[in-house]
Amino acid sequence: MQPKVNIMHLPVYQPGKPIEDVKRELGLDEVIKLASNENPIGYSPKARAAMLDEIDHLHIYPDGASVDLTAVLASKLGVESNQIIFGTGSSDIILMICRAYLTAADETIMADETFSQYKHNCEVENTNIIEVPLKDGKHDLNAMLAAVTERTKVLWICNPNNPTGTIIGREELEAFLAKLPKHVLVVLDEAYGEYVTDPNFPNGITLIDRYPNIVVLRTFSKVYGLAANRIGYGVGEASVIRTINQVREPFNTGRLAQVAAKASLQDDEFLARSQASNTAGLNYLHAQFDRLGLQYFKGHGNFIMVDVRTPSMQIFDLLLRKGIIVRAGWKHYPNAIRVSVGTAEQNEKFIQALEEVLIELAVLQ
Ligand SMILES: Cc1ncc(COP(=O)(O)O)c(C=O)c1O
């Protein structure tokens, strides 16, 4: 048996270490996972009630087109229903875009570093990948523009960027879109967009009328706290969404995911509580990094990349022994860890552990 040659080098995705494994391996009672940018306060109680209501219908296939959920979301976003597609998380939309648009003859442009799944799915399609280094942790839009050729099919922008947490402002993005040739599909991944408080942050959906070559990605995994339920969506011009729909699996979102997503959209209180808790956490962590004299990229999502002036895998291991899981091992930021914003208590425990570790290593006095 011979798989596709272009996938033979691909690693199997390594998720953040599961809490239960760490507890067992290190004999710890309490482990705090700040590694996967999840919502530390859970998910909407209205979503829970909606799922319990749906629980007796799991023997019947879900509505493949998510008609009910689409209608609620379309009215909330001010777009038509045929401008929305749902996926098994927004990762599924990334996969579908690659499947629908990219071949071995095409080129695709993305930042280096950014969310790993763009590159992974482009590699599966054997597409020529052009990676443009970040500049000060931000997408270098001028360099990305300069990399466009007539073979460029898809260009990926992660706003805020994972892992650096930086954002591209409205004017900068619009100037870029105005210059970008129209044959390039821009994927604007706003997985963390709901967390951003900077008034300069662009809402990609408002740009679709003027730039029909944009697809905006969002997810219920982050601020809505439904990461395990696997549901996310794409918004774009109707013909683009139709193309992506052509490669969609028939039942790619389940009943529980659909009803939970719909109820979450109708729970403004939970959304506001999640956003407020995150903003307080970002402010606290930024202030603590300042106190400790550590450099960081100001986080605009629900995570921060901070320079710990030590090989990050060493810090990862030392924090793990203290029951804190973070993300480390970034190609261009070997001394940086990415920490997700937790609850106030988790953030304090993380800072305490980090400070102890950095004092033990004599990075801090
Ligand atoms: C930037 C970005 N986009 C998309 C996703 C995918 O999220 P999901 O598939 O859970 O919707 C993630 C997950 O971490 C992410 O960081």
Omega of the bond leading into 212 within 30 degrees of 0 (cis)? no
Greater confidence (6 vs 107) lies with 107
Band of pLDDT at residue 355, cut at 50, 70 and 90: very high
Mutation pick for ligand 1 pocket among 118, 188, 221, 305 (CB with most ligand atoms within 8 Å): 221
> How far does the centroid of ligand 1 lie from the alpha carbon of residue 222, in Å?
8
- The mean pLDDT value for 159-169 works out to 98
Instruction: Please state, for a pLDDT cut of 70, what percent of the chain lies above it.
Output: 99
Q: Which atom of ligand 1 is nearest to the CA of 88?
A: 9
Band of pLDDT at residue 16, cut at 50, 70 and 90: low
Helices (H), 157-204: 170-179
Give residue for tokens 């590694």.
35
Q: Which atom of ligand 1 is nearest to the CA of 161?
A: 1
Nearest CA to ligand 1 atom 8: 89
Distance of CA 79 to the CA centre of its chain: 22
Instruction: State the Cα–Cα distance between residues 341 and 52, nearest whole angstrom.
Output: 29
Residue 17, pLDDT > 90, answer no
Per-residue pLDDT tens digits for 242-286? 999 999 999 999 999 999 999 999 999 999 999 999 999 999 999
Instruction: State the Cα–Cα distance between residues 48 and 34, nearest whole angstrom.
Output: 23
Mutation pick for ligand 1 pocket among 219, 224, 304 (CB with most ligand atoms within 8 Å): 219
Distance of CA 360 to the CA centre of its chain: 33
Per-residue pLDDT tens digits for 328-347? 999 999 999 999 999 999 99
Buried b (16+ CB within 10 A) or exposed e, 124-142: bbbbbbbbbebeebbbbbe
Query: Any idea what the Cα angle at residue 222 is, between residues 219 and 227, rounded to 5°?
Result: 80
Ordered structural domains, the chain, with CATH: 5-42+269-360 (3.90.1150.10), 45-267 (3.40.640.10)
Look up residue 327 and give its two tokens: 């993300």
Per-residue pLDDT tens digits for 226-246? 999 999 999 999 999 999 999
> How far does the centroid of ligand 1 lie from the alpha carbon of residue 358, in Å?
30
With a Cβ cut-off of 6 Å, ligand 1 is lined by 37, 89-91, 115, 158, 162, 189, 191, 219, 221, 227, 232
Band of pLDDT at residue 11, cut at 50, 70 and 90: confident
* Burial bucket for residue 13 (CB in 10 Å: 0-12, 13-18, 19+): exposed
Give the chain's count of helices (H) and strands (E).
12, 12
> How far does the centroid of ligand 1 lie from the alpha carbon of residue 191, in Å?
6
Provide the mean pLDDT of the chain: 97
Helices (H), the chain: 19-26, 45-54, 67-77, 90-101, 116-124, 141-146, 170-179, 238-245, 255-265, 268-292, 312-321, 344-360
Omega of the bond leading into 113 within 30 degrees of 0 (cis)? yes
> How far does the centroid of ligand 1 lie from the alpha carbon of residue 90, in Å?
6
Question: How far from 101 is each of 98, 121, 247, 360, CA to CA, in Å?
Answer: 5, 12, 10, 51
Nearest CA to ligand 1 atom 12: 191
Whether the CB-CB separation of 25 and 18 falls below 8 Å is answered with no
Instruction: State the Cα–Cα distance between residues 78 and 27, nearest whole angstrom.
Output: 51
> How far does the centroid of ligand 1 lie from the alpha carbon of residue 346, in Å?
22
> How far does the centroid of ligand 1 lie from the alpha carbon of residue 162, in Å?
9
> How far does the centroid of ligand 1 lie from the alpha carbon of residue 364, in Å?
34
Give the largest CA-CA distance in the chain.
Answer: 62
Greater confidence (14 vs 73) lies with 73
Instruction: Please state, for a pLDDT cut of 90, what percent of the chain lies above it.
Output: 94
Q: Which atom of ligand 1 is nearest to the CA of 36?
A: 14
pLDDT at 19: 87
Nearest CA to ligand 1 atom 3: 191
Look up residue 285 and give its two tokens: 């962590």
pLDDT at 159: 98
- The mean pLDDT value for 211-220 works out to 98
